[in-house]
Structure 1
Amino acid sequence: MRGTGIDHAQEVHVSQSGQERLTEDELFELLSNRRRRHILHTLINETEQVDIGTLSQEIAAEEDELAFDEVSSSDRKRVYTALQQSHLPKMDNAGVLEFDRDRGTVEATPALEDIEIYMDVVRGREIPWSDYYLGLTGIIAVVLGGATLSVGPFALLPLSAWVAFAIVALAVSALSHRYYARQNRLGIGSSPPASSTELEYEESA
């Protein structure tokens, strides 16, 4: 089972007075579907209400790799039905958006302002950052231990050089972590981020 570097018992606080908290499991359930990620991404970047028809056409265009105006009415309706019957009610119940079925609109709730959404993995390798740092700590411990005891190849350089190596390794890792976390966060970039645990989208997921 792939780790996420996040304790699933932990709860995400949302800015809704007196309302429920969104758990990590509920958050990842919402993010497990690309259509729902597209909706969240759009709402984070929009200040007004979003029309479901427009949203459906955008998603259909993305899935079929077509221009917005090239989407057929049948494909748009297919996505519209899935959003209206499944995805939007699920997200409304979770409190991350307000779905007005009568008007055919959705809008963000204050919850989106407080939720930092990103997949905490080393991109392309699916390694949790927690495991990465644990491994790096072990390597640094071996290097500094060997340098202190002047064992084998570690005796070729002074201890100060190995300490400098450890500092640089930690600094580079921290900067990389910050960069990838920012790139994977919803709302960054022109399109919804794809998850390393991407699931095939389903009509009624």
Structure 2
Amino acid sequence: MPEDSADADTSTALPDGGLSKGEIFDVLRNQRRRYVLQYLKRKGEPVELGDLATRVASWEYRTPCEEVSSEQRKRVYTTLQQTHLPRMAEAQIIDYDSDSGLIEPTARTQDLSIYLEIVPGSELPWREYYLSLGAVSTALCAAIWGGVYPFTLLPDVAWATLIALTLTVSASVHIYYERNMRLGDLEVPSELDFE
């Protein structure tokens, strides 16, 4: 029996040797692994396992790094060392030298950003906003073209300028929010709301 094409897409490696969506989501389904990527992206340089464990523990226990207990740190350190970092290194998402305890991002780390971008649940998705903006602009143009009052009070060029400015401001705000909501750009992961 042939595989469902949706299943095939998530289980087959990509032609360029990259990870399939299934592999990506398998690696990223664990919160500690996402925290590792968050920290690596923020630092932008190799990090030591001890520092990483302290930061991840602080996020998990929602406490400042200075207040993480040695037991909390050790618990996180051990699972990172034995489970999570080797799994991420196997997927070539990070380079992990178990002898030195250094972890650094790879080219694939950046490729995962699209899967980790933050989409707050309370916000209108941008695609819906732009669709609505397009619909309103189209209706406005139809009303102007049809000579509907009060849209005839302003010249056509004023309406065209208003539509262009609305689109430009919307795109600028979208870019601003998108840049500020990427993985690693926030001080703490989006799942946390302390500090």
Superposition TM-score, scaled by structure 1 size: 0.69
| Between structures 1 and 2, the one with greater helix share | 2
Q: Aligned equivalents of 2:73 and 2:55: distance in 1?
A: 9
- Alignment partner, residue 165 of structure 1: 162
Q: Aligned equivalents of 1:148 and 1:43: distance in 2?
A: 54
Asked if 1:108 is matched to 2:105, the reply is: yes
Amino acid at match of 1:80: Y
Q: Aligned equivalents of 2:39 and 2:166: distance in 1?
A: 37
Amino acid at match of 2:45: T
Asked if 1:125 is matched to 2:122, the reply is: yes
SS at match of 2:152: helix
Q: CA 1:68–1:177 in 2, change beyond 3 Å: closer, same or farther?
A: same
Q: Conserved in 1, the CA contact under 8 Å of 2:144 and 2:156? A: yes
- The runs of 4+ residues in structure 1 deviating greater than 6 Å are none
Gaps of 5+ in 1: 1-8, 10-17, 199-205
Question: Identity percentage over the alignment?
Answer: 39
Q: What is the CA deviation profile of residues 102-148 of structure 1, one whole-angstrom value per residue up to 9, with x for unaligned ones?
A: 44332222333566546374x56343322221221111101111111
In the TM superposition, what is the alpha-carbon distance from 1:43 to its structure 2 partner? 2.0
Which of 60, 63, 73 is the matching residue for 1:76? Answer: 73
Gaps of 5+ in 2: 1-8, 10-14
Q: CA 1:22–1:179 in 2, change beyond 3 Å: closer, same or farther?
A: farther
Q: Over aligned residue pairs, what C-alpha RMSD do you find?
A: 3.2
The 5 Å alignment of 1:52-201 reads 52-112=49-109, 116-117=113-114, 119=117, 121=119, 123=120, 125-192=122-189, 194=190
Q: CA 1:24–1:41 in 2, change beyond 3 Å: closer, same or farther?
A: same
- Larger RCO: 1 or 2 (CA < 8 Å, sep 6+): 1
Q: CA 1:57–1:116 in 2, change beyond 3 Å: closer, same or farther?
A: closer
